[in-house]
Amino acid sequence: MSFAARIWPTSMGIVGLVALVLLLVAPPVLIALGARFWISIIAEVMIWSLLAASVNLLFGYTGLLSFGQALYFGMAAYGVAFGLDKLGLSFWPSFALGIGVGTLTAAVTGVFAVRLTWHYFAIITVVFSLIFYFLSVGWKDLTNGDDGMPFNIPPVFDFAGLQLKLYDLTFQYYFMFAIVALCYLFLWALLRSPLGLAFRSVRDNDQRAGLIGLNTYGIRYVSFVIAGFLASVGGVLFALFARFATASYLYWTVSGEGVIWAIVGGIGTLFGPVLGTAVLIVLREELSLYWEHYLLVVGAIVILMVRYAPDGLIGLLHWLLAGRRKWESAPGSAVAKEGQP
């Protein structure tokens, strides 16, 4: 095993720890610097990274490219909006209702979708997304169509006169951070479990996986539902973040953004979707200040990444680490000379 392969987990662990610390101290630091706007941007990155993570679970670990994750994202957003605005539920029942609606939608559509593979699977996920999108746009009495559903958010916690609400920017940030962190902790444990290994087996060779006794349909279905659950959590969080649910969340182009974020960050890696989402959203925010056609630049960056760094930003970091070690090990390098007796 190469030095880079041995040191890679340790290096990424250190980077992850530093990133965790920075995320934890971000609100007070940004407030002190007068950059409160970036607190919302970081929260938005964390939320959208769950959509990218759901794409990554299917594509990077199970071998199924989905352009329909926006369906579960949007249904979950509608679920929490209905709970708060139409049913008059308190915060946590509405939160659970949103996740339940999105995950149930994934469970139903997955019965049909995972029977297909390759481009057929991608097409049917787009079809399901479009069906629900046009239903939500046309059913104005229920969803308000393109106008969407604004809603008020009750306290998250109300105990002994102490109320914690998402209208407080700092509390909202830490609430979003805690939920997203729990989702990634769950994903980390899942991918290291026997089920996670089964996902990879089906991705690498579904025929051999079937020959050794794995139920490939069942494994794909479970992966599909879990991916739907992750997208649903993201949809609920974004609806609470925006105080709004709309049919546009269901459109397949939202899924396309998740696919791009996952690919740019690094498919088949745990934190690649987070990195890809962060880089592209920050670029969008910065470039949009100077040029209205900023998406052309973002698109060019994505094309260059796909062409010259197909393993994404995480793969690029790995390559740079391996290249640096190769240089350090060269006979004439200063580092190699330092290691000589």
Cα distances from 79 to residues 83, 97, 240, 276, 304, in angstroms, run 6, 6, 11, 28, 38
Output 119 or 183, whichever has higher pLDDT. Answer: 183
Q: Which residues, including other chains, have CB under 8 Å from residue 116's CB and lie 6 or more apart?
A: 124
Cα distances from 338 to residues 23, 334, 335, in angstroms, run 37, 6, 5
Q: Which amino acid, 118?
A: W
| DSSP one-letter code for 146 | G
332 pLDDT exceeds 60?
no
| pLDDT the model gives residue 104 | 96
Partner residues linked to 157 by β-bridges: 164
By CB atoms closer than 10 A (0-12, 13-18, 19+), residue 67 is buried
List, for residues 173-231, the tens digit of each pLDDT value. Answer: 999 999 999 999 999 999 999 999 999 999 988 888 888 888 999 999 999 999 999 99
| pLDDT the model gives residue 314 | 87
Task: Give dist(CA 334, CA 209) in Å, integer.
Answer: 49
List, for residues 80-111, the tens digit of each pLDDT value. Answer: 999 998 888 999 999 999 999 999 999 999 99
| DSSP one-letter code for 247 | G
Partner residues linked to 245 by β-bridges: 149
Output 133 or 327, whichever has higher pLDDT. Answer: 133
Round to the nearest angstrom and report the end-to-end CA distance of the chain.
25
50 pLDDT exceeds 90?
yes
Largest Cα separation within the chain, whole Å, is 81
Distance of CA 36 to the CA centre of its chain: 23
CA atoms within 13 A on the CB side of 145: 5
